[in-house]
């Protein structure tokens, strides 16, 4: 992800994205582009990706992919 794209996603996250969720477990990034977070971290959901339970999110200044089964969504997206 280039700097301009990261800046766009960061601005969108600051506006609340499309929703919020809370991490149920610690999740370590396994591949480039994965989002790393700890249990109880709040994640701003930016978009649902093409795969059914894969999302793009923002947490602690980082944008990356995460699985929906690792989080609890605060509302329906």
pLDDT single digits (tens) 6-46: 999 999 999 999 999 999 999 999 999 999 999 999 999 99
Phi, psi of 39 (to 5 degrees): -50, 135
**77/48: higher pLDDT:** 48
Domain 3-73 belongs to what architecture? Roll (2.30)
Global pTM reads 0.92
Does 52 score more than 80 pLDDT? no
What ranges do the domains of the chain cover?
Answer: 3-73
Does 51 score more than 80 pLDDT? no
């Amino acid at each position: 992800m280039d700097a301009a794209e990261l800046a766009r996603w960061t601005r969108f996250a600051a506006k609340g994205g499309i929703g919020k969720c809370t991490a149920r477990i610690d999740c370590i990034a396994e591949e480039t582009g994965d989002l790393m977070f700890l249990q109880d971290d709040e994640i701003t959901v930016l978009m649902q990706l093409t795969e059914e339970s894969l999302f793009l999110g923002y947490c602690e200044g980082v944008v990356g992919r995460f699985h929906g089964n690792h989080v609890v969504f605060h509302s329906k997206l």
